[in-house]
């Protein structure tokens, strides 16, 4: 199907205005076949330029009838997902009746079976251009309209959607007419969901999940509802604009591609966020952050929607920033900002290093498929950091006033970059033309470094090669020696160099530019600071400063300026005393997945693995039993310990407190045993039967794909690229396939990846395909031949935007690893 172009969207928006949708969905038929279907009837009312023509979007399994203003249109004329509508009247109604196909790739109306009880669940994920697979529509973000939905479902099901749902009997549900919505925000969630309901400030609240998760849902709902209540209060107080979409449901759905989706009144989440085993504090913080992020979208994206996808930052950057701000405000803790540093900003810096980097705002988006690729660390993490710089530039009062005016002026409509900047300039009385050019409409990031002399600190800003962007940075510099902070210097860097006086201060052993993580820049630690890390970092009491150092090390690995062995030494020296859950979690992943998994040469891995396992054992032994720190340490041990210990843990013996019977932890252990070839297929199948659940199925697929033998790899590859697997199952297989140092075994699959994964395009939507192509890329075959194979495949010029972007970016990461190995051989 052709992707909607911006030019076509602009022309259509000049021709018509949509006034109402009436959609009827019948979910009671066609669900017993190998290719289940549902019934769809849509009546779309719109005004138009008299006599003009336009097109309606429709991607159906079978079209039964199309009627425009009482005149039938031959269903056979539907071409490439479009229905041509001609000779339009000033007032029009087009009615379409069709049979639609459920999806199994997380897009459109997705249907999943829970193996725990055999029950089926349905949810709508119409982002980014999947709405026409559910109902006929004018599918673009600036043609917003009210929706009235009616859903017929099996009688034992619950139905939820954007409007409050009322069961009128015989499985029929009527949903209240919504405020004007963009097509990609419409959703229906239906199935035998378990529910916990509440009310706050006049807003009905609901939290829902699969029936097999009912007990865990009831246990965890009070915490999630408290976050929801606090966030509502904060947003209402901050903007003075009440939540505008009636009831507020949060539905945890199976096999969801993203973390969550901000459907007004009915937010959908990945149901792995309902923890069925032990969860660390940073996992609970991450869930709270996601709740606050999606709620922020009710204003940023839902109330005011971008005109076109090149301004998606008006949705995502604001939701990203507001989530961290809200959690910090309601908890009185900086943990949300520390987590943002080590998780979100590290992700964003990786996106900025990639060949596909792009500006925060105004990135070219000639069509919807291209725009989809820009939902990345630039639009989220960098955009949020840029907003922090804007606040530093204008002041928080001006920022809040400008945002409030922007939301009020464009409520229930659409806006673009110029609208936001105009509101900010009016609120602050300052021009933002130069500031926006440097921070919003130009890609790239500066490098910030600091060196200390006897009586000053020299702070430098290095721009990317060839860049003329002049970005002012509001930041700080911290200095530490033997556990004491000896420097705390605020700075505004408006040129390439600044000298900060520090008369009377002793030299710092560890000098950290941007220690408070206020700006967006690569932090380059001096050679002296790098050398001091193993001795000094553990004594730094400020978690935010430690987080900035770890991100600087991550960037240094990617730039081949930091020896991965230094990262191992720093981890071994600091991790036994680290207490911040987010730092523990992210650095544990950095060491186990990236340093041990990719960066280190094979000969350095055994000693490094021993060092990492030793640090994890020390942290486990010193942690309070059952604490978040203990769980984080146990997970790193599960990835690095010797097979004898892992075998005992897999058998339920000698487990750390709180992990007995934890099926998710057992799958981590079994995966490590699989990578080492220390478990058999029958043993994995027995474990799957003992954990007959969605998570158990995925854990078994990952572990079996990780087995280092020819037969297991052949089976896993066929499952990955063949028919019948869902989006999450493909991701689970891809996540296990390349694990371990098995290049000789896996080398033959490099060519097969470049042939077979792009071919999935005919069966898998672009959103899901982008994820599987990223996860399945053969990064652990760290050879120039892998790079060359990707070059050859890219040169063919026939890849979809999703696969092309994934290959380009993953090849770039592989090049970083190759450069590091060469630099520190």
Q: Is residue 285 part of a domain?
A: no
Q: Is residue 816 part of a domain?
A: yes
Q: Is residue 293 part of a domain?
A: no
Quick one: 149 and 116 in the same domain?
yes
pLDDT tens for 326-375 read 999 999 999 999 999 999 999 999 999 999 999 999 888 899 988 888 88
Q: Which pTM value belongs to this model?
A: 0.97
- What's the rounded Cα separation, in Å, for the pair 745 and 163? 53
| Tokens read off for 74 | 């031959």
Nearest to 29 by CA among 21, 46, 44, 41: 41
Going from the first residue of the chain to its last (825 residues), give the mean pLDDT of each consecutive group of 10, the final group possibly shorter: 91 98 93 82 98 98 98 96 98 98 95 96 96 98 98 97 96 98 98 98 98 98 98 97 98 95 98 96 97 98 97 96 98 96 97 95 88 91 97 96 98 97 98 96 96 92 92 96 96 95 86 98 98 98 98 98 98 97 98 98 97 98 96 98 97 96 97 98 98 96 98 98 94 98 97 97 90 97 98 96 95 98 95
Whole-Å CA distances, 239 to 230, 243, 391, 570: 14, 10, 16, 44
pLDDT tens for 543-555 read 999 999 999 999 9
Q: Is residue 323 part of a domain?
A: yes
Whole-Å CA distances, 376 to 255, 354, 364: 20, 11, 14
Backbone angles phi, psi at 278, to 5 degrees: -65, 140
Identify the pLDDT of residue 518.
Answer: 96
Identify the pLDDT of residue 32.
Answer: 59
Parent domain of 380: 304-439
Identify the pLDDT of residue 130.
Answer: 96
- How many structural domains are present in the chain? 6
Q: Is residue 131 part of a domain?
A: yes
Quick one: 378 and 420 in the same domain?
yes
pLDDT tens for 225-236 read 999 999 999 999
Q: Which of residues 439, 468, 503 is at a domain's end? A: 439
Quick one: 145 and 38 in the same domain?
yes
Quick one: 484 and 377 in the same domain?
no
- The answer to whether 98 and 61 have CB atoms below 8 angstroms apart is yes
Quick one: 615 and 739 in the same domain?
no
Quick one: 49 and 150 in the same domain?
yes
Quick one: 575 and 590 in the same domain?
yes
787: exposed, middle or buried (C-beta count within 10 Å: 0-12, 13-18, 19+)?
Answer: middle
- What's the rounded Cα separation, in Å, for the pair 672 and 345? 28
Quick one: 315 and 270 in the same domain?
no
Q: Is residue 368 part of a domain?
A: yes
Catalytic annotation present for 761: no
Q: Is residue 444 part of a domain?
A: no
Quick one: 609 and 721 in the same domain?
no
Query: Which entry of 294, 352, 578, 598 is annotated as an active-site residue?
Result: 294
Q: Is residue 28 part of a domain?
A: yes
CATH number at residue 217: 2.60.40.1730
Quick one: 675 and 811 in the same domain?
no
Largest CA distance in the chain: 87
**How many other C-beta atoms are found inside a 10 Å radius of the C-beta of residue 357?**
20
Quick one: 610 and 696 in the same domain?
no
Quick one: 718 and 690 in the same domain?
no
Whole-Å CA distances, 396 to 67, 267, 389, 392, 678: 53, 29, 11, 7, 57
Identify the pLDDT of residue 372.
Answer: 84
């Amino acid at each position: 199907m052709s992707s909607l172009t911006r030019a076509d969207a602009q022309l259509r928006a000049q021709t018509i205005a949509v006034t109402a949708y009436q959609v009827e969905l019948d979910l009671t038929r066609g669900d017993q076949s190998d290719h289940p279907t549902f019934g769809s009837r849509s009546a779309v009312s719109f005004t138009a330029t008299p006599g003009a023509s336009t097109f309606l979007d429709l991607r159906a399994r079978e079209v039964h009838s199309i009627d425009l203003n009482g005149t039938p249109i031959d269903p056979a004329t539907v071409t490439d997902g479009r229905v041509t509508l001609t000779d339009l009247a000033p007032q029009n109604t087009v009615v379409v009746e069709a049979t639609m196909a459920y999806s199994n790739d997380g897009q459109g109306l997705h249907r999943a079976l829970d193996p725990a009880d055999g029950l089926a669940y349905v949810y709508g994920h119409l982002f980014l251009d999947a709405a026409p697979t559910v109902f006929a529509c004018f599918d673009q973000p600036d043609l917003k309209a009210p929706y009235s939905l009616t859903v017929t479902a099996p009688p034992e099901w619950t139905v939820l959607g954007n409007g409050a749902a009322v069961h009128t009997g015989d499985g029929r549900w009527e949903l209240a007419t919504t405020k004007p919505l963009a097509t990609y925000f419409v959703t229906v969630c239906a199935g035998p969901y378990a529910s916990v309901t509440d009310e706050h400030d006049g807003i009905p609240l609901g939290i829902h999940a699969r029936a097999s998760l009912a007990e865990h849902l009831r246990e965890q709902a009070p915490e999630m509802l408290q976050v929801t209540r606090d966030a509502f209060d904060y947003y209402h107080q901050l903007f003075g604009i009440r939540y505008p979409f009636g009831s507020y449901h949060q539905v945890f759905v199976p096999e969801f591609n993203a973390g969550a989706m901000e459907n007004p009144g009915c937010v959908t989440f990945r149901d792995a966020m309902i923890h069925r085993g032990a969860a660390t504090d940073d996992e609970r913080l991450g869930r709270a952050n996601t709740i606050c992020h999606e709620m922020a979208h009710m204003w940023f994206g839902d109330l005011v929607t971008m005109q076109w996808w090149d301004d998606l930052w008006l949705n995502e950057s604001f939701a990203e920033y507001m989530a961290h701000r809200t959690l910090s405000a309601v908890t009185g803790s900086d943990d949300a900002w520390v987590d943002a540093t080590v998780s979100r900003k590290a992700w964003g810096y990786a996106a900025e290093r990639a060949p596909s980097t792009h500006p925060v705002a105004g990135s070219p988006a000639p069509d919807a498929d291209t725009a989809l690729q820009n939902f990345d660390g630039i639009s989220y993490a960098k955009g949020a950091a840029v907003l922090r710089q804007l606040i530093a530039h204008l002041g928080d009062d001006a920022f809040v006033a400008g945002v409030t005016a922007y939301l009020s002026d464009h409520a229930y409509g659409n806006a673009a970059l110029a609208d936001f900047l105009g509101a900010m300039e009016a609120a602050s009385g300052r021009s933002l033309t130069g500031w926006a050019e440097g921070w919003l409409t130009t890609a790239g990031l500066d490098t910030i470094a600091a060196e200390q002399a006897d009586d000053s600190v020299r702070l430098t800003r290095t721009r990317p090669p060839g860049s003329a962007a002049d970005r002012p940075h509001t930041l700080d510099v911290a200095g530490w020696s033997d556990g004491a902070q000896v420097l705390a210097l605020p700075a505004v860097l408006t040129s390439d160099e600044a000298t900060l006086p520090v008369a009377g201060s002793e030299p710092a052993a560890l000098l950290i530019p941007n220690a408070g993580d206020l700006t967006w820049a690569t932090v380059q630690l001096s050679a002296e600071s790098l050398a001091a890390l193993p001795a000094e970092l553990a004594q730094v009491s400020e978690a935010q400063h430690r987080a900035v150092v770890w991100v600087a090390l991550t960037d240094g690995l990617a730039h081949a300026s930091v020896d991965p062995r230094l990262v191992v030494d720093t981890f071994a020296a600091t991790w036994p005393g680290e207490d911040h859950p987010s730092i523990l979690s992210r650095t544990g992943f950095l060491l186990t997945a990236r340093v041990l998994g990719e960066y280190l040469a094979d000969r350095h891995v055994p000693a490094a693995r021993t060092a990492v396992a030793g640090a994890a054992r020390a942290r486990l032994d010193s942690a309070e039993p059952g604490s978040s720190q203990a769980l984080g340490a146990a997970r790193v041990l599960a990835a690095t310990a010797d097979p004898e210990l892992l075998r005992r843990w897999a058998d339920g013996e000698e487990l750390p407190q709180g992990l007995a019977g934890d099926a998710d932890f057992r799958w981590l252990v079994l995966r490590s045993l699989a990578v080492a070839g220390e478990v058999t297929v029958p043993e994995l199948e027995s474990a799957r039967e003992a954990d007959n659940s969605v998570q158990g199925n995925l854990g078994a697929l990952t572990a079996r794909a990780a087995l280092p033998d020819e037969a297991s790899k052949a089976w896993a590859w066929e499952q990955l690229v063949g028919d019948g697997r869902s989006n999450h199952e493909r991701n689970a297989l891809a996540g296990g396939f390349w694990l371990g140092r098995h290049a000789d075994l896996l080398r033959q699959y490099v060519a097969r990846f470049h042939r077979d994964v792009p071919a999935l395009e005919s069966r898998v939507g672009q959103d899901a395909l982008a994820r599987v192509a990223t996860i399945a890329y053969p990064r652990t075959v760290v050879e120039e031949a892998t790079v060359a194979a990707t070059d050859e495949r890219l040169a063919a010029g026939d890849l979809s935007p999703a696969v092309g972007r994934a290959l380009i970016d993953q090849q770039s990461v592989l090049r970083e690893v190759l450069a590091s190995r060469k630099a520190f051989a």
